[in-house]
Amino acid sequence: MQQDVIIIGGSYAGMAAALQLLRARRRVAIIDEGIRRNRFASHSHGFLGQDGIAPGEIAATARAQLSAYPTLTWIEGRAVTASGKQDAFVVTTADGASFEGRRLLFATGVKDGLPDIEGLAERWGRSAFHCPYCHGYELNEGEIAVIAASPMSIHQAQLIPEWGKVTFFTNGAIALDKEGRADLVKRGVTIDETPIVRLEGLAEVVLTDGRRLPFSGLFVATRTTPASDIAERFGCEIEETPMGLQIRATAAKETTIPGAYACGDVGRVPHSVSLAVGDGAWAGAQLHRSLVFG
């Protein structure tokens, strides 16, 4: 049976969009692989009403609530191709099934490109983070390391003193000019240009000169790219943002392919659960508007 909307990605953004559509009694199929971006973290912060709850629990509660709507079809698995056009999209999954929909929504999220530092990947989401609003408070105004990875790291080093005493490791990734250096010093940031060898313990930075500096936590500005290339292969335009790559979408969340929409981390910056949910709810309403008014 043809769906009104096929949603690829059933996490915070995709489910928020689905909720609006299901409550308008529209037929919605969600195809989801269940690999959420924040799966590395034990707790999620900053989402009103769900502060400090495990990321998987937030998603499970949302899915249970969606399941009460009879026009939802939930497909566990990976969507591999999208084709067709408005009113006649087709999505196929890795197990060879295919689904037809009048509209399409990419809520596929992004993945984080971490700098190549020994010990960083194991600490990602545990003591190493990208977003101070999500994980800064729990560091209890302690010593915080900001490790440079891109020009965005300078912005992080300027902002994160709000959450603790910052040491900024340039680690050969960026060059600070005189003005940038003076600004950081003014904010109480210690600048350390010695290259990092590896990370150890909770958040200990081991440097090439033999020093070992312990921290309460680390921040790294990752480069994000779409978690799946399905939208790009379909022909949606991809655009560069200060944080990485995302699907280009209008204010109404429509991509460069009419009838195909994008929301959540893959369709906006900056990124958080709250913003993904808000973006998803907006995309759901816009998809509904498009179904009603063409």
Ligand X SMILES: Cc1cc2nc3c(=O)[nH]c(=O)nc-3n(C[C@H](O)[C@H](O)[C@H](O)COP(=O)(O)OP(=O)(O)OC[C@H]3O[C@@H](n4cnc5c(N)ncnc54)[C@H](O)[C@@H]3O)c2cc1C
Region of 66-74, 156-164, 191-199, 222-230 interacting with ligand X (CB under 6 A): 222-230
At 182 the three-state DSSP class reads helix
CB of 209 to ligand X, least distance (A): 30
Q: Which residue is nearest to ligand X (CB)?
A: 264
Task: Give the sheet arrangement for strand 110-113, strand by strand.
Answer: 110-113, 223-226, 244-247, 238-241
Nearer to ligand X, 8 or 66 (CB): 8
Q: Which residues contact 167 (CB under 8 A, 6 or more apart)?
A: 143, 144, 145, 146, 189, 190, 191, 192, 213, 215
Cβ(63)–Cβ(28) under 8 Å? no
CB of 110 to ligand X, least distance (A): 7
CB of 88 to ligand X, least distance (A): 20
103 belongs to the binding site for ligand X (CB under 6 A): no
Give the bridge partners for 32, in sequence order.
Answer: 76
Which contacts of 63-68 are long-range, i.e. CB under 8 A and separated by 24 or more positions? 63/10, 63/15, 65/19, 66/15, 66/18, 66/19, 66/22, 66/30
- Alpha-carbon distance of 41 to 123, in angstroms, equals 10
Map the footprint of ligand X across residues 25-84, applying CB under 6 A.
Answer: 31-38, 40-41, 44-47, 78-79
Residues in contact with ligand X, shown as a per-residue x/- string from 257 to 286 under the rule CB under 6 A:
-------xx-----xxxx-x----------
137 belongs to the binding site for ligand X (CB under 6 A): no
- Alpha-carbon distance of 196 to 128, in angstroms, equals 15
Matching residue, tokens 């195909």: 260
- Alpha-carbon distance of 75 to 96, in angstroms, equals 12
Nearer to ligand X, 108 or 170 (CB): 108
- Considering only 3, 4, 5, 9, the residue that binds ligand X (CB under 6 A) is 9
Region of 114-122, 123-131, 152-160, 240-248 interacting with ligand X (CB under 6 A): 123-131
Region of 3-11, 144-152, 186-194, 241-249 interacting with ligand X (CB under 6 A): 3-11
- Alpha-carbon distance of 133 to 110, in angstroms, equals 19
CB of 11 to ligand X, least distance (A): 3
Nearer to ligand X, 46 or 142 (CB): 46
Nearer to ligand X, 12 or 168 (CB): 12
Task: Report CA torsion sign: 201, 207, 210, 216.
Answer: negative
123 belongs to the binding site for ligand X (CB under 6 A): no
158 belongs to the binding site for ligand X (CB under 6 A): no
Nearer to ligand X, 94 or 185 (CB): 94
Task: Report CA torsion sign: 192, 193, 194, 197.
Answer: positive
- Chain residues binding ligand X by CB under 6 A are 8-14, 31-38, 40-41, 44-47, 78-79, 107-109, 112, 124-125, 129, 131, 134-135, 227-228, 230, 264-265, 271-274, 276
